[in-house]
Amino acid sequence: MVSRVIPVDDFDLVIFGGTGDLARRKILPGLFRRFCSGQMPKDARIIGAARSDMDDAGFRQMVRDAIAEFGGKNATECDELDAFLAALHYVTIDARGEGGWSELAGKMRSGVVRAFYFSVGPGLFGDLAQRLKTHNLADDDSRIVVEKPFGRDLASAKALNKDLATYFDESQIYRIDHYLGKETVQNLMAVRFGNVLFEPLWNSQYVDHIQITVAETVGVGGRGGYYDKSGAMRDMVQNHLMQLLCLIAMEPPSKFDPDAVRDEKLKVIRALDPVDSHHIVRGQYAADGDKNSYRDDVENPKSFVESFIAMKVHLSNWRWAGTPFYLRTGKCMKARSSEITVVFKDAPHSIFGADEGRHRNVLSIQLQPNEGMTLDVTIKEPGPGGMRLVDVPLDMTFADALGPEAEDVPDAYERLIMDVIRGNQTLFMRGDEVEAAWAWTDPLIEGWQARNDVPKPYEQGSNGPEDALMLMHRDGRRWREIKG
Ligand code: NAP
């Protein structure tokens, strides 16, 4: 099967923070891949902007090095690097100053899509939005892309939304959650809404529970200062896990259109119940030999901020009343794995007798390290030995079914940037969604702060604190094994 690459319209993309970690690791190598695939028009321009004093040649060299380091096999296999680098430019700009803007204007063309990627801290979003307008760089068709974190609570998210809304219409604002750009996340929607098979079973009558795990093996690394003001709830649950929950739980939208999809996601967030404190387990990774503890890493010996969180949440609506959703995410865990698991209920009666034990259909959607989907079905164990049952996975991984071309799927960032150029907001969060997510999150955080809740220590390389296992064991359920 030959994959279809549909070129996007010609564009100028300005990356504020073009010298930063995210630009070097993800955005620029991703754009190079789109260039090599033929999706990025050859005339398109990419303009890096930051405070560092650099010229076009210096920026091109920086990007050449970044692609060599982070570009993967594309970096060695694609021979169009020089042509790609020729599309790059650089302007020295301080988001809070007035210098450099006319030079930027001089490097941009008219008559093409203009997109501005704010790959800088959220404290600069308002300054950039304002200066883009006052220096006449943005018109009614221009788009801005903003990175996470989008606020640290409801009040700050509202303030950010208000700042951006002063200068840009909601239809021009693209709030990135790169989890939504993953191939499998979109495939989840295709599987749910493109087949008759799943939707009739997709409710509390047939689904026992749903698990969402996002496990990382790394600690907080050099981000200790930021992380200790945030924690797993703000850094992961409020955005990534919440978005996954929305896609798995939402009602079918009337069409695959940005507002239709986002309206349904918003309803899910608004249907989330407050969470009982007994249904939340917070943890911090402990020291392990010469490996730092969380508190060492963030240089705060009294930190009560969590590097792990597990919770049981409920949705108050017709579809999901009574079906628990178990969420967990943490650092320094056993393996790097992001997975959504839908565990269906037992068959109402086993004609094979009690000896055959429990067999359940389980749909598992893996997001990383490998993307794919499997459905466990129960069959007869082949061979002699009577009627014995066994669960086998039905592999719905697209690469196997669709051939090697399907393995070469774009990374989430590349896909999302191309969506920005196309003007498609379906996979981006709307302002009201982000605010609703904070409105649910804030009281939970305030609750544990008021209780002086102390996170439970957990071993590095483990599944998190013992209490997190108990959260499910108490309900007669168990977490899926975290496998890389
Ligand atoms: P970073 O490595 O610290 O880079 C920040 C960039 O912003 C640099 O290019 C810096 O260059 C520029 N900058 C800082 N102050 C500026 C100013 N006043 N005016 C103009 N440019 C300025 O940060 P990052 O990791 O790339 O993260 C960027 C954003 O993405 C943050 O909001 C972060 O939370 C988010 N994010 C990052 C990742 C990731 O993997 N790195 C993942 C998700 C979200 P100069 O110092 O030369 O100005």
pLDDT digits (tens, 9 = 90+) for 295-326: 999 999 999 999 999 999 999 999 999 999 99
pLDDT at 354 over 80: no
Q: How far apart are CA 285 and CA 353, in angstroms?
A: 44
Judge whether 443 and 277 are in contact, CB under 8 Å. Answer: no
Query: Which residue minimizes the CA distance to atom 37 of ligand 1?
Result: 22
DSSP string, 272-288: BPP--GGGEEEEEEPPB
Q: How far apart are CA 440 and CA 447, in angstroms?
A: 12
- Region 186-199: mean pLDDT is 92
Architecture of domain 11-147: 3-Layer(aba) Sandwich (3.40)
Q: How far apart are CA 435 and CA 433, in angstroms?
A: 5
95 lines ligand 1 (CB under 6 A): yes
- Which residue type occupies 362? V
CA-nearest of 466, 45, 482, 431 to 266 is 431
- Region 80-105: mean pLDDT is 97
pLDDT tens digit sequence for 204-249: 999 999 999 999 999 998 899 999 999 999 999 999 999 999 999 9
pLDDT tens digit sequence for 133-156: 999 999 999 999 999 999 999 999
DSSP string, 449-469: HHTTPPPEEE-TTBSS-HHHH
120 lines ligand 1 (CB under 6 A): yes
CA-nearest of 373, 348, 351 to 363 is 373
Judge whether 128 and 121 are in contact, CB under 8 Å. Answer: no
Percent of the chain with pLDDT over 90: 85
pTM over 0.85: yes
Query: Which residue minimizes the CA distance to atom 33 of ligand 1?
Result: 121
229 lines ligand 1 (CB under 6 A): no
Tell me the domain boundaries of the chain. 11-147, 180-421+431-473
**What tokens does 466 get?**
């013992």
Instruction: Tell how strand 113-118 and strand 207-215 pair up.
Output: unpaired
24 lines ligand 1 (CB under 6 A): no
- Region 414-429: mean pLDDT is 96
Task: Say yes or no: do domains 11-147 and 180-421+431-473 share a fold.
Answer: no
Separation of CA 25 and ligand 1 centre (Å): 12
**What tokens does 264 get?**
């349904």
Determine the straight-line distance between the first and last CA of the chain, rounded to whole angstroms: 29
127 lines ligand 1 (CB under 6 A): no
Separation of CA 16 and ligand 1 centre (Å): 8
Among 120, 174, 175, 416, residue to substitute to test ligand 1 (most atoms within 8 Å of Cβ): 120
Q: How far apart are CA 426 and CA 419, in angstroms?
A: 9
320 contact partners, CB below 8 Å, separation of at least 6:
203, 204, 249, 271, 314
Query: Which residue minimizes the CA distance to atom 32 of ligand 1?
Result: 121
* Whether 240 is catalytic: yes
Number of neighbouring beta carbons within 10 Å of residue 65: 11
Computed from CA positions of residues 149, 152, 157, 160, in that sequence, does the dihedral angle turn out positive or negative? negative
Catalytically annotated residue among 240, 279, 349, 359: 240
Among 14, 15, 21, residue to substitute to test ligand 1 (most atoms within 8 Å of Cβ): 21
- Which residue type occupies 415? R
pLDDT tens digit sequence for 155-175: 999 999 999 999 999 999 999
Separation of CA 34 and ligand 1 centre (Å): 22
CATH number of 180-421+431-473: 3.30.360.10
pLDDT tens digit sequence for 35-46: 999 999 999 999
